[in-house]
Amino acid sequence: MASVKASNYINGEWHSAPQEFESVNPANRQEIIGTAPLSTKADVDQAVSAAKKAYHAWNELSWVKRAEYVDNFAQLIKRDLAEISTLVTRECGKPINEGRADAVEALHMAQYIAGLGRLPTGYAISSEIAAKDAYILRKSKGVIACITPWNFPSAIPLWVILPSVLAGNTVVFKPAEQTPICGHKLMELFHEAGFPAGVINLVHGMGEDVGDPLVKHKDVAAILFTGSRAVGKYIQQVAAGDAYKFAATEMGGKNATIVLEDADIDLAVNACVLGAFKTSGQRCVSTSRVIIDRKVEPEFTKRYLEKVKRIKIGDGLQEDTFMGPLIEEGSVDKWKLHNQKAKEEGAEVLIDGQVLTEGIYGNGNFVSPFVYRFEQYKKNTFCLREEAFSPHLAIIGVDGMEEAVDVYNDTDYGLAMAVITEDYRKWRWVRDHADYGLGYVNLPSIGAEVHLPFGGVKASGNGHPGAEGILESVTHRVAFTVNHAREIVMAQGLSTSV
């Protein structure tokens, strides 16, 4: 397939830059998916200025009118669904059924946001004084920076861009440097959908060169960031420096599936295979710990290992591939480090993952699953507390539900938790005592739907989830009170006599 030359998109026009970077297929590093501008602060300044200029006219439109632009866009996503699916797989390595799922989720987000344009955006509420009407309304914030990761290169940008523009904000989008061509494709469709110049702008490049000046820009009112904990924490600190600036940061996880003694073991095995190895463990919600009741651990582990050994690893464009490559060579190094740490920290290795280099694997970033076990939970370990973001899974034996939740909560993160049990009293107790933003019963710890909030607690997120949840972050709720009487009567009995 021909390599794509991506451009920045500023004020409705395509702009190139003197220097470019390459995006390569992680399953075959010799295949160049495309090139994109290596932008600088000057490009960011131009994009923010275009977004600022476009804001007033865009914000003057009704929610319904803005939703119509989103509806045009949704129809284009639907038209190009197959092309987007294949592009996601080629650029980020996920198997094609996952590439398709990413594109379908993008479509769902566009359809959902187009529909929201006709739903209430505020409400009337009684005042203490009968002659007054009070309203709670939503107002847009201004220019919003959307900074996104590579692992859901079409869905995650839309979780944040579409609610922002529906609410009347304008956007500067900075896609991940690993997947610029997916970002470019979205931008081509925004252009074709007819969004006015400056409403959605895109600047390609590296985090330090483009993301950093964007978050620090004085005309950016809000930052919607999804990515690693280190960068998210930094962005929170930058935003805290300006009283007006807001940052929603969705970050990593050390997610777990809790398997209780009454669990359906086949279901538990399937949930933990999907949870740990879909997207090669490179989901923020990937299961990296199975916390299991000792009574059922031997049977679970036997069946689990049999299944993990059958996982087909390869190029995601093959329909029967279950697990594709890691995104970059650096991710392979990070995976090795986590495995090494597990060994040093006393884990019993059950499947020693390998870097795959022969034959079809020769030019890609392929590894096989690494699975290990701790008979007893070991506190303060790197391997059981830090995000590996790769096919790296711990099985930890515990005695009962309460110890399972103690172990589950013993990380700084709090993103996704699944519990496998047939007992409604048990899952209810776990639901109420574990720290998470996304909870599941008899399911894997992965799986988002756009009309639900998506986010975490503790170090995983600062309380401003994406998808359904993000309208709160891109609007101010304002109170507006109207007096219908000829005299002024104040609330709380406040006297007006002078």
Nearer to ligand NAD, 121 or 280 (CB): 280
User: Do the beta carbons of residue 141 and residue 224 sit within 8 Å?
Assistant: no
Nearer to ligand NAD, 156 or 272 (CB): 156
Q: How far is the CB of 286 from ligand NAD (least distance, A)?
A: 8
Range in contact with ligand NAD (rule: CB under 6 A) among 91-99, 120-128, 210-218, 482-490: 210-218
Nearer to ligand NAD, 141 or 229 (CB): 229
Show the site string, 102-141: x = touches ligand NAD by CB under 6 A, - = not: ----------------------------------------
For ligand NAD, the binding residue among 228, 318, 409, 442 (CB under 6 A) is 228
CA dihedral 435, 162, 16, 37 (to 10 degrees): 10
Q: Does 149 bind ligand NAD (CB under 6 A)?
A: yes
Buried b (16+ CB within 10 A) or exposed e, 323-350: bbbbbbeebbebbbbbbebbeeeebeeb
| 3-class state of residue 164 by DSSP | helix
Range in contact with ligand NAD (rule: CB under 6 A) among 109-117, 204-212, 262-270, 363-371: 204-212
Nearer to ligand NAD, 76 or 146 (CB): 146
Range in contact with ligand NAD (rule: CB under 6 A) among 221-229, 268-276, 314-322, 363-371: 221-229
Nearer to ligand NAD, 122 or 453 (CB): 453
Q: Does 20 bind ligand NAD (CB under 6 A)?
A: no
Helix (H) or strand (E) holding 275: helix 265-277
Sign of CA dihedral 177, 183, 185, 187: negative
For ligand NAD, the binding residue among 47, 96, 256, 284 (CB under 6 A) is 284
Q: Does 227 bind ligand NAD (CB under 6 A)?
A: yes
Compute the distance between CA of residue 104 and CA of residue 450 in angstroms, rounded to an integer.
Answer: 11
Q: How far is the CB of 321 from ligand NAD (least distance, A)?
A: 21
Distance set, CA 288 to CA 117, 269, 417, 449, 450 (Å):
39, 14, 11, 21, 24
Range in contact with ligand NAD (rule: CB under 6 A) among 37-45, 64-72, 224-232, 405-413: 224-232
For ligand NAD, the binding residue among 58, 150, 366, 374 (CB under 6 A) is 150
Nearer to ligand NAD, 251 or 434 (CB): 251
Q: How far is the CB of 428 from ligand NAD (least distance, A)?
A: 25
Q: How far is the CB of 418 from ligand NAD (least distance, A)?
A: 16
Using CB under 6 A as the binding rule, the residues of this chain from 41 to 70 that contact ligand NAD are none
Using CB under 6 A as the binding rule, the residues of this chain from 350 to 389 that contact ligand NAD are 387, 389
DSSP string covering 26-81, please? TTEEEEEEEEEE---HHHHHHHHHHHHHHHHHHHHS-HHHHHHHHHHHHHHHHHTH
User: What is the CB-side half-sphere exposure of residue 309 using CA atoms within 13 A?
Assistant: 9
CA dihedral 194, 200, 203, 208 (to 10 degrees): -160
For ligand NAD, the binding residue among 231, 274, 395, 470 (CB under 6 A) is 231
Range in contact with ligand NAD (rule: CB under 6 A) among 99-107, 173-181, 352-360, 421-429: 173-181
**Structure-block tokens of residue 191:** 């252009």
Helix (H) or strand (E) holding 158: helix 155-166
User: What is the CB-side half-sphere exposure of residue 274 using CA atoms within 13 A?
Assistant: 15
Cα 243 to chain centroid, rounded: 26
Compute the distance between CA of residue 326 and CA of residue 26 in angstroms, rounded to an integer.
Answer: 7
Q: Does 151 bind ligand NAD (CB under 6 A)?
A: yes
Compute the distance between CA of residue 169 and CA of residue 166 in angstroms, rounded to an integer.
Answer: 7
Q: Which amino acid is at 211?
A: G
Q: Does 251 bind ligand NAD (CB under 6 A)?
A: yes
The residues annotated with a catalytic role in the active site are 250, 284
Compute the distance between CA of residue 227 and CA of residue 223 in angstroms, rounded to an integer.
Answer: 12
Q: How far is the CB of 284 from ligand NAD (least distance, A)?
A: 3
Q: Does 26 bind ligand NAD (CB under 6 A)?
A: no
Q: Does 160 bind ligand NAD (CB under 6 A)?
A: no
Compute the distance between CA of residue 400 and CA of residue 293 in angstroms, rounded to an integer.
Answer: 6
Angle at 154 between CA 151 and CA 160, to 5 degrees: 95
- DSSP H helix total and E strand total for the chain: 14, 26
Q: How far is the CB of 102 from ligand NAD (least distance, A)?
A: 11
Number of Cβ atoms within 10 Å of the Cβ of 399: 12
Range in contact with ligand NAD (rule: CB under 6 A) among 5-13, 87-95, 203-211, 406-414: 203-211
Distance set, CA 78 to CA 20, 29, 81, 105 (Å):
30, 29, 5, 11
* β-strand pairing of 287-293 with 392-398: parallel
Q: Does 332 bind ligand NAD (CB under 6 A)?
A: no
Q: Does 473 bind ligand NAD (CB under 6 A)?
A: no
Range in contact with ligand NAD (rule: CB under 6 A) among 61-69, 205-213, 259-267, 357-365: 205-213
Listed residue (380, 370, 405, 149) closest to 252, CA to CA: 149
Nearer to ligand NAD, 112 or 389 (CB): 389
Q: How far is the CB of 437 from ligand NAD (least distance, A)?
A: 8
Which residues contact ligand NAD by CB under 6 A?
Answer: 147-151, 174, 176-177, 207-208, 211-212, 215, 226-228, 231, 234-235, 250-253, 284, 387, 389, 454, 456, 461, 466
